Amino acid sequence: MRFIPSLLTLAVCSSFSLQANEAEASIERVTVQGDLRQQSVQQLAGSIAVVSEQDVKRTSAQHLDDLLNQFANVNFTAGASRGRYIQMRGIGERSEFVDTINPSVGILIDGIEYSGLGISGISDLAQLEVFRGPEATRFGANALAGMLNLTSKGPTATPEGKLSATLANYNSRQLAAQYSNSVNSQLGYSFALEQQNSDGFIDNAFLNRDDTNNIDEFTGRFKLRYQASDALALQLVTHFVDQDNGYDAFSLDRNRTTLSDEPGQDQIRSKAVALQADYTGLAFATVLAQLSYLTADSDYGFDEDWSYVGIHPDEYATTDRYLRARDQLTLDYRFISTPQGKLAGSDWVFGLYAANKSFDLTRQFWNWDLWQADSFVSELSRSNAAVYGELTTPLSSGWSVVSGLRLERYDDDYSDSSGNAIKNHDTMWGAKLSLNYQVNTQALVYLLASRGYKAGGVNGDALAKAVGGDLTELNSKASFKPETLYNAEFGVKGSALDQSLTARVAAFYMWRDDMQVKGWLNPNSGPQFAGFIDNAGSGRNYGIEMENRLQLHPQLALFLSASWLKTKLGDYITLDGENFSGREQAQAPRFQYSVATDWYISDALTFNLSLQGKDAFFYSDGHNARSKRYELVNARISYQLADWELAAWTRNALDKDIGVRGFYFGNDPRDGYEPHVYEQFAEPRRFGISASYQF
């Protein structure tokens, strides 16, 4: 790690020699849309990566999964047709089955919360921001470890449009269209439509099909902006997602060939609407408000035995299916001080937040205790209310202190078909305090302390399976408490005046209290175990992450992101007596890196090449199954002809098998149910051609 001090020095020194007035005129400003005050990324304390449309094009990304490998200290798991659960700095969930989880890393699209639902299309991406570390002051309970904030393209004053199409192997195709315009000086609109299809990357040998893990996704987004007066701007945002994907990912032979006779499905249909208001009519503050509503229905199921009837005399043949309905209504009011409204010379933000969410589940499964098909129904209603604020206090030339606080209360009302009825509530708080030295408009040195949290919940799966048995063990397991994360961070951000160099480095140390870990109980001494979440563990996560851009030549740019991470579980002993205390946490690779180049061969011809690597990591905190270290090679060559762009590309050019979810247990009757590491793999070698017309 000897290069780190040099990089920190370079980031600062590259900006010290620049005159502030020159920087004001020439600096490229990247505004962070998800920040409370929408500041430049170079002036905001915290580890934040910003991705533009050009960054997406560089790797020919078609989905969020295709983007995540380029971020330092960001990982994800699938366990479904798409990657839906994200980890940052080694913290984050890996799946959601019976019990409703509070994600450690949330997802916002145009200010609407999609945590746990994932993202379908990104063809209309305007900007993606990756917040790493606790962001409770800004985002609340869904940002214990970080947040993804995606902004789609919106209305424009003049007509703008784009049509694009992609054809790729595995019978993959994508069509997308975007258009924006204004009706008059007050009213503007935009819409984006996208359809993705693919047979997927699995061959089902029993059914003789190659589309049992297929992709079939439609995404539609519409925005309508109205300038009601000089002081009031309104915007209506609507989203529609229809995902009808297959799910047949795990193989008894531990490859990409399955034997399932009843392949599963991963279907989501969601609709969302938001009304946003921006009011500047107050002398002391600007008011930003958003009221949003989302409803989503999902159908997720799989063939539990991964095989067919008749494979072996000791076989079993069952399926597991989860039907979910989710409704959420959120309201967020934010007051941002104007120059006239400063408080004793300090800028301030004050906000109010309220949300009501309901999660309904119907699970259809095989009950091993009753030896018959069974169902389980649960309902969870959650109400959240929060007040938050932030104060930016200037000290002396270039120095300032930023302090933030959020108080949040949640109330849960849970019931299920087993007769359980539980009410939970808690008051949580998050905070941040940073000391910033703004060298100039292009360079920042900061020292940050922050506290994040996520809500607790109910172990409905364990309680339901314990009906009729001895509940003594579960008396203290019916609910689990919130988790708290403390973060200390030092960072440097700097860029040269001509943008020939940009460097961002952050070193952090985080400790987790009441760490939520997965455990198992056998309440009725039968073949059926019950999963539950406990607060039995603690954890430590520390490391460093960096992102750099270097313009080596007017025709050649180099991009580098890298991270080193060390994690540690606290006291954690499983029900089987396995002691994992002190072991590395799950989904926490020690290192990650991404190196990419843009070579502008001519005004029309561009070549992009990238290499992404990730160390091996544990798949779970409850077993020792590990992924394999891997490197990904991606390439793209494009030709610009007037308003047309033609491109040929490849992803995972070396055809590596990359695990995105892993289990360790026995599921194959042919070898006596001997335990193995079973993995779900990401996409193999991909290649395709894309064409777009912009007008």
Distances (CA, A) of 189 to 34, 110, 183, 281: 22, 15, 8, 24
CA angle 239, 358, 272 (to 5 degrees): 5
User: Would you say residue 97 has pLDDT above 90?
Assistant: no
Range 464-479 average pLDDT:
61
DSSP assignment of 64-102, as one string? HHHHHTTSTTEEEE-SSSS--EEEETTB-----SSS---
Q: Residue 340 has what DSSP assignment?
A: G
User: Would you say residue 348 has pLDDT above 50?
Assistant: yes
User: Would you say residue 316 has pLDDT above 90?
Assistant: yes
Residue (of 234, 332, 239, 240) closest to 275 by Cα position: 234
What range defines the domain where residue 63 resides? Answer: 3-694
pTM score, whole prediction: 0.93
- pLDDT tens profile 39-80: 889 889 999 999 888 888 888 888 888 888 889 999 999 888
Q: For residue 598, what pLDDT is reported?
A: 95
Per the CB < 8 A criterion, the answer to whether 503 and 492 are in contact is yes
The number of folded domains in the chain is: 1
Roughly how many angstroms between the first and final C-alpha of the chain, as a whole number? 48
Task: Output phi, psi for 15, to 5 deg.
Answer: -110, -20
Which of 465-469, 583-587, 636-640, 651-655 shows the lowest per-residue confidence on average (mean pLDDT)? 465-469
The burial class, CB within 10 Å (0-12 / 13-18 / 19+), for 550 is middle
251 three-state secondary structure: coil
Q: Residue 618 has what DSSP assignment?
A: B
Question: How many CB atoms sit inside 10 A of residue 588's CB?
Answer: 23
Q: For residue 26, what pLDDT is reported?
A: 41
Q: For residue 19, what pLDDT is reported?
A: 37
User: Would you say residue 524 has pLDDT above 80?
Assistant: no
Specify the higher pLDDT residue, 481 or 183: 183
| Single-letter code of the amino acid located at 40 | S
Q: For residue 58, what pLDDT is reported?
A: 84
User: Would you say residue 12 has pLDDT above 90?
Assistant: no
User: Would you say residue 8 has pLDDT above 90?
Assistant: no
Q: For residue 95, what pLDDT is reported?
A: 85
Range 532-540 average pLDDT:
80
The burial class, CB within 10 Å (0-12 / 13-18 / 19+), for 10 is middle
Range 86-96 average pLDDT:
92
Per the CB < 8 A criterion, the answer to whether 65 and 118 are in contact is no
Q: What is the CATH number of the domain that holds 600?
A: 2.40.170.20
Per the prediction, the chain carries an average pLDDT of: 90
The burial class, CB within 10 Å (0-12 / 13-18 / 19+), for 620 is buried
Question: How far, in whole angstroms, is CA 647 from its chain's centroid?
Answer: 28
User: Would you say residue 27 has pLDDT above 50?
Assistant: no
Distances (CA, A) of 675 to 257, 623, 665, 678: 19, 11, 4, 9
- pLDDT tens profile 258-275: 999 999 999 999 999 999
The span from the CA of 78 to the CA of 73, in Å, is: 17
